[in-house]
A and B are shown apart, each in its own frame.
Chain A
Amino acid sequence: QQQVKQSPQSLIVQKGGISIINCAYENTAFDYFPWYQQFPGKGPALLIAIRPDVSEKKEGRFTISFNKSAKQFSLHIMDSQPGDSATYFCAASETSGSRLTFGEGTQLTVNP
């Protein structure tokens, strides 16, 4: 599997702040880039996903920015809340929904 690199490994933000997590990929055949949220002991849940034909996608407080030429994409969480405290994974696949390659994960802590 091609690698997807994610940073930072951990992130602490204050309530109301912006959380930013970055990912970079190598495989130019990837055409589906989802972000997942995982709480301890639970399976990942899809937050938001993007395809390379757009540079940005926003859903509520969550925004993906995508830079195809740089092979990078990022997740922005606006107005971060303590309930957003979880582990976030970026992922990529050549066909949406299948054979996902995950980043290393980011442990987000939002302080009250």
Chain B
Amino acid sequence: GAVVSQHPSWVICKSGTSVKIECRSLDFQATTMFWYRQFPKQSLMLMATSNEGSKATYEQGVEKDKFLINHASLTLSTLTVTSAHPEDSSFYICTGERNTEAFFGQGTRLTVV
């Protein structure tokens, strides 16, 4: 199957700082990528749709100024958590779509202390 890679796999940051998470499609081009958030022992919730060359589309309740998404190329989307707070600690997962199938990255565990 297609490969989607996230970096970093885990990150610890201090409250008030910003963290950038990268999502790369390694063997296909993804004009659209999706970002999900998963709290411990909970389901995945869609945060936003990342569109190459245009603004991301955010789900209701997701702060676009806090979760900055950039999709500057067909193989890379980034999610920046700005002014992180402990409640932003979560597992962030991206997906890229190829041939109508969603391929998930391995996820990024963010811990804000």
Contacts and interface: CB of A to CB of B under 8 A. Distances in A.
A105 B43 contact: yes
B102 A97 contact: yes
Interface residues of B, number: 26
A49 B102 CA distance: 11
B105 A98 contact: no
A98 B32 contact: yes
Contacts, number: 60
A97 B107 contact: no
A22 interface: no
A44 B101 contact: no
A84 B25 CA distance: 27
Contacts of B43: 89, 102-105
B46 A105 contact: no
Interface of B: 1, 6, 32, 34, 36, 41-46, 49, 59, 93, 95, 97-98, 100-107, 109
